[in-house]
Structure 1
Amino acid sequence: MIRAVLFDLDGVLTDTSEYHFLAWKRLADELGIPFDRQDNEALRGVSRRESLLLLLKGRPATEEDMQAWMERKNRYYVEYISQMTPENLLPGALNLLQELRANGYKTAIVSSSKNTPLVLERLNLAHWIDAVVDGNAPARSKPAPDLFLLAAERLGVVPQECLVVEDAAAGIDAGHAAGMRTLGLGPRERVGHADMVLPDLNGVHLADLKPVLE
């Protein structure tokens, strides 16, 4: 029986993925590296360093360069997300969080982003979340299971009692590796290996999740 639902943040509860794309695109343009939305798809759910390596496409870079570029990209991203408000929650997200809490489920945010605290503050979500595990945690990023396992530990549940809600293939892989059930949001070509797939959370209620909650 599922007792806790672990949500990714970007692309699941709010669409910060567009801000990530704009920030990476801005950096790529400055470095003279071709980068488009198709390239950006490969960056979903992976760490900032892995994202930079994918963007560089084998271009040699010193550790000093990489640190400077990651910091620059993050500065651009923070500029964008600092303008966010609760209006930036995706349709259905808050309603589902409220319904879960009202029915005794524990909830957590599990994101590879180190900017998760700022986004949650801008969205005013703290009241509906029991635990947050993000890129600041001393753990491997998705697709490793570490972040999800840490969230389960903080919630006081075992992995088999957790449902992971993700929009990235790496996140679904991490959920499976952790021994958890998975709900994939988005196209089947990206998250079709999840235990259940939905387009998004718009109009989704607990009853709709019965196949993966019981």
Structure 2
Amino acid sequence: MIRAFIFDLDGVLTDTSEFHYLAWKRLADEEGIPFTREDNEALRGVSRHESLRLLLKGRTLPPAQFEEWAERKNRYYLELINQISPRNLLPGAVEFLQALQKAGLKRAIASSSKNARLVVERLNLLPWVDVLVDGTMVDRSKPAPDLFLKAAELLGEHPEACVVVEDAEAGIEAARAAGMRVIGIGPYERVGKADLVISGLNALGPEEILRRLERNA
């Protein structure tokens, strides 16, 4: 029986992907590395360091320079998200969290981003979640299951009692590895390995989602 929902942040509750793209693009342009929106899709749901490795496309950097590039990208991203506010929430996000709270279901946000708390605070989402797990709290990022397992631990629930809401292939792999069911938000080509695919949190209510998950179990 599902007793908790664990949400990815970017692409599920809000959309900061454009900010990430612009920050990576600025870094890439400064360093003369070709970087397109298509390249950016491969970075969806993975950590900053892994994203930089993908951007480098096999090129290697000395450790100190690698860290400087990663921190520079983060600085550009932080400059951009200073403007984020509740108006950047995706349709249905708060209403869905409120419906879960009313139904007595636990709620967590689990994001690879080390800036997740800042974003969640600016979105005014903290009142609607029980637990927030970010990239500073685990050793391994998605597709490893650590983020979701940490969220379940803090919620006091077994993995099989949790369902993850994700928009990235790496996140769906992580949920599967954690032994959790998973809802995919986005195009089927990207999230088709989920137990249930929906267009957004405004598509179905929690009760209908739970019914469909149980039917598909």
Q: TM-score, normalised by structure 2?
A: 0.96
Match of 1:211 in 2: 212
Unaligned runs of 5+ in 1: none
* Correspondence for 2:186: 186
The equivalent residue for 1:124 is 124
Distance in 2 (alpha carbons) for counterparts of 1:66 and 1:13? 30
Deviations 1:50-80 (A, max 9, x none): 0000001112211111100000000010111
**1:107 offset after TM fit, Å?**
0.3
Letter in 1 for 2:199: P
SS of 2:69's equivalent in the other structure is: helix
Q: Which amino acid aligns with 2:212?
A: P
Contact 2:9–2:109, Cα closer than 8 Å, also in 1: yes
Supply the AA of the counterpart residue of 1:76. Y
Q: Which amino acid letter does the alignment assign opposite residue 165 of structure 1?
A: V
Partner of 2:6, secondary structure, is strand
One-letter code aligned to 2:116: T
Deviating runs (4+, > 3 A) in structure 1?
A: none
Give the Cα–Cα distance (whole angstroms) in 2 for the partners of residues 90 and 180 of structure 1: 24
For residues 124 and 213 of structure 1, the distance between their equivalents in structure 2, rounded to whole angstroms, comes to: 32
Match of 1:161 in 2: 161
SS in 2 for 1:91: coil
| Gap runs ≥5 in structure 2 | none
Shift of 1:207: 3.0
Question: Alpha-carbon deviation of 1:138?
Answer: 3.0
**Separation in structure 2 between the aligned mates of residue 158 and residue 203 of structure 1, nearest angstrom:** 27
Partner of 1:100: 100
State the match for 1:111 in structure 2. 111
> How far apart, in 2, do the equivalents of 1:110 and 1:139 lie?
14
The whole-number CA distance in structure 2 between the counterparts of 1:28 and 1:83 is 23
Superposed displacement of residue 82, structure 1 = 1.2
Matches of 1:213 and 1:197, distance apart in 2: 14
**Structure 1 length normalisation: TM-score?**
0.98
CA contact (8 A) 1:162 1:181 kept: yes
| Residues 19 and 81, structure 1, Cα contact 8 Å, conserved in 2 | yes
**Matched-pair contact (CA < 8 Å) for 2:96–2:202:** no
Q: CA deviation at 1:105?
A: 0.4
Query: Alignment partner of 2:204: what SS?
Result: coil
**SS class of match (1:72):** helix
Between the aligned partners of 2:99 and 2:207, the Cα distance in structure 1 is 10
Compared with structure 1, are the counterparts of its residues 83 and 213 closer, same or farther at alpha carbon in structure 2 (3 Å cutoff)?
farther
Could you report, residue by residue, the CA deviation over 1:115-166 in whole angstroms, capped at 9, with x for unpaired residues? 0010011001110010011101133100001110110000000000000000
Question: Separation in 1 of the partners of 2:169 and 2:137?
Answer: 21
Q: Distance in 2 between matches of 1:213 and 1:71?
A: 43
Question: Which has the larger displacement, 64-73 or 194-203?
Answer: 194-203
In structure 1, C-alpha distance between the alignment counterparts of 2:14 and 2:174, rounded to whole Å:
20
Alpha-carbon RMSD: 1.0
CA 1:13–1:30 in 2, change beyond 3 Å: closer, same or farther? same
Q: Deviations over 1:182-209 (max 9, x none)?
A: 0000011111000000122224311330
